[in-house]
Amino acid sequence: MGNYVFMCFFISIFTNFFSISKLGTILAPVFIPMMMLMGFDPAITQVVYRIGDSITNPLSPLFTYMPVLLGFAHKYDEKVGLGPGGAIYL
């Protein structure tokens, strides 16, 4: 269990570098002028980015709680796994 906590600690630090606020700050100088040229308000650009990012966050393999969710699902269905056809089992 200690190895898992140690690994999750460093994964969370790594994913924190690419969080919504930081990535949004990096991409804003590109996306906001581009969307303004297309006639969209800058607030709409941020809403679209946040919706698109929030949908994919739980699907990421770097999601810290993915092993926990797979463990709960595996309790009810032995074939549950991660990858094509559930290739990675717990």
Residue 45, class by beta-carbon neighbours within 10 Å (0-12 exposed, 13-18 middle, 19+ buried)?
A: buried
Domain range enclosing 70: 61-90
- For residues 49 and 70, membership in a common domain is answered with no
- For residues 69 and 43, membership in a common domain is answered with no
Per-residue pLDDT of the chain (90 residues; tens, 9 = 90+): 788 888 888 877 777 766 655 666 777 788 888 888 999 888 888 888 878 777 776 666 667 777 788 888 888 887 777 766 655 555
- For residues 53 and 10, membership in a common domain is answered with yes
Q: What is the rounded distance in angstroms from the CA atom of residue 81 to the CA atom of residue 41?
A: 42
Q: What is the pLDDT of residue 21?
A: 59
Q: What is the rounded distance in angstroms from the CA atom of residue 87 to the CA atom of residue 20?
A: 30
- For residues 12 and 51, membership in a common domain is answered with yes
Q: What is the rounded distance in angstroms from the CA atom of residue 58 to the CA atom of residue 8?
A: 15
- For residues 22 and 6, membership in a common domain is answered with yes
Q: What is the rounded distance in angstroms from the CA atom of residue 64 to the CA atom of residue 72?
A: 14
- For residues 10 and 46, membership in a common domain is answered with yes
- For residues 15 and 52, membership in a common domain is answered with yes
